[in-house]
Amino acid sequence: MPSRSACFFLFLSAIFGSWVIACGQKSNQPIKVAAFNIKGFGRAKMTNGVTAGFIQDIVGRYDIILIQEVRDTTGFALNKLWAGLNRTDSWGLTVSGLVGRTNYKEQYAFFYRTKKIKVTGSFQYDDKLNDLFEREPFAIEIEYNSAKRSSKSRVVLLALHTKPQDTIQELKSLPQAMRAVYGGFKRAKGIIALGDLNADCSYLSNAMKKQMEIFQSDGDFVSIIPDTEDTTVAAGTNCAYDRAIILGQDVKVSDAGPYRFDSELGLDVETAQTISDHYPIAFNLQGFIDKTVITVTRGTYKITDTEMSLQRSFSLLLLFAVCSMSEVAGLAPPLKVSAFNIQTFGKTKMSNDTIANYIINITSRYDIVVIQEVRDSTFFALNKLWAGLNLTGPWGLTLSEPLGRTSYKEQYAFFYRTPKVTIRGTFQYNDSALDVFEREPFAVEVEYYSVAKLANNRIALQALHTKPTDTVQELQALPNAMRAANASFPNAKGIIAMGDMNADCSYLSSSNRKQLEIFQNGTGFTSVIPDTFDTTSTAGTDCAYDRAIILGQGVVVSGAATYRFNDQLRLDVDTTLAISDHYPIEFNLY
Going 158 to 159 to 162 to 163, the CA torsion angle's sign is negative
Residues 230 and 349 both lie in one domain: no
Residue 297 belongs to a domain = no
Catalytic one among 69, 161, 445, 465? 465
CB 445 within 8 A of CB 489: yes
Reported as a pLDDT band with limits 50, 70 and 90, residue 39 is very high
**Is 530 a domain residue?**
yes
Q: Is residue 319 domain-resident? A: no
Query: Going by C-beta distance under 8 Å and a sequence separation of 6 or more, which residues neighbour residue 569?
Result: 358, 361
The pLDDT, as a whole number, for residue 150 is: 54
Q: Is residue 359 part of a domain?
A: yes
Condensed to tens digits (0 to 9), the pLDDT of residues 415-429 reads: 999 889 999 889 999
Per cent of the chain over pLDDT 90 is: 70
What is the residue-wise DSSP string for 327-370?
HHTT-PPPEEEEEEEEEEESHHHHHSHHHHHHHHHHHTT-SEEE
Q: Are both 235 and 349 inside the same structural domain?
A: no
Structural domain includes residue 18: no
Whole-angstrom distance, CA of residue 590 vs CA of residue 587? 10
SS3 letters across 422-471: EEEEEEECCCCCCCCCCCCCEEEEEEEEECCCCEEEEEEEEECCCCHHHH
Note the Cα 562 to chain centre separation in Å: 26
Does one domain contain both 278 and 342? no
Cα distance between residue 96 and residue 161, in whole Å: 13
- When comparing pLDDT for 576 and 289, which is higher? 576
Domain range for 47 is: 31-285
Does 485 lie in the same domain as 356?
A: yes
pLDDT mean over 436-448: 96
Among candidate residues 535, 455, 534, 541, the one with its CA nearest the CA of residue 500: 535
Is the pTM of the predicted complex or chain greater than 0.85? no
Active-site residue (options: 69, 106, 136, 410): 410
Same domain flag for 253 and 105: yes
pLDDT of residue 393: 85
pLDDT of 44 over the 70 cut: yes
pLDDT tens digits for range 506-540: 999 999 999 999 999 999 999 999 999 999 999 98
pLDDT at 294 over 70: no
Query: Could you confirm whether 278 is annotated as catalytic?
Result: no
- 343/262 same-domain check: no
Give tens-digit pLDDT for 369-428.
Answer: 999 999 998 889 998 999 899 888 888 899 999 999 999 999 999 999 988 999 988 999
| Cβ atoms of residues 153 and 248 within 8 Å | no
Higher model confidence: residue 27 or residue 68? 68
Q: Are residues 393 and 278 in the same domain?
A: no
Residue 517: predicted pLDDT: 97
Domain identity same for 201 and 74: yes
DSSP annotation string for 477-490 = HHHHHHHHHHHH-T
125 lies in the same domain as 196: yes
Average model confidence (pLDDT) for the chain? 87
Q: Is residue 485 part of a domain?
A: yes
Task: State how many domains the chain has.
Answer: 2
Same domain? For 355 and 273 the reply is: no
Question: Does any domain span residue 493?
Answer: yes
Q: What is the pLDDT of residues 190-201, one digit of tens each?
A: 999 999 999 999
Same domain, yes or no: 281 and 345: no
Domain shared by 272 and 362, yes or no: no
410 included as an active-site residue:
yes
Q: Is 405 domain-assigned?
A: yes
Give 111-168 pLDDT, tens digit per residue: 999 889 988 888 889 888 889 999 999 999 999 986 544 578 899 999 999 999 999 9
What is the predicted pLDDT for the residue at 415? 95
**CATH of residue 437:** 3.60.10.10
